[in-house]
Amino acid sequence: MKECIFCKIVKGEIPSASLIENETVMSFLDINPVNHGHALVIPKKHVETLIEAEQAVLENCILTARQVAEAILGATGAEGFNILQNNGRCSGQVVPHLHFHVIPRWSDDGFSLGWRQGRYEDNELDSLLEDIKQRL
């Protein structure tokens, strides 16, 4: 597999606005931010999706995301933040390397997740609930 852009950032082959790094993860500012202060948290080892990542890596990613979010809130004065994580191209994952977006938010920033709400038809919820529970 050809190396991805995040792997090249981890190796120092591509410069980044690095925020924090340890043995497992690193964080840097997104060069195409939704809002100023938008950062990414990535595992240093290449994995494409959340499901492929080891538990210790995920724990380190989310704890780092929390630390980065707190720093971003202080630096930007943001009112809140989103942590977004996409898996697969259909979900909006552009770079096939696991990453968490930490996006500072303001009530008037114009960014929308476009969330829509659906409904279950008769017995769909119960049937799906049982199927999922059997797989857990």
Rg (CA), the chain: 17
Catalytic residues: 99
Q: What is the pairing mode between strands 39-43 and 25-29?
A: antiparallel
Distance CA 30, CA 37 (A): 8
70 vs 2, 28, 104, 121, CA distance in Å?
A: 35, 14, 10, 41
Coil vs helix vs strand at 55? helix
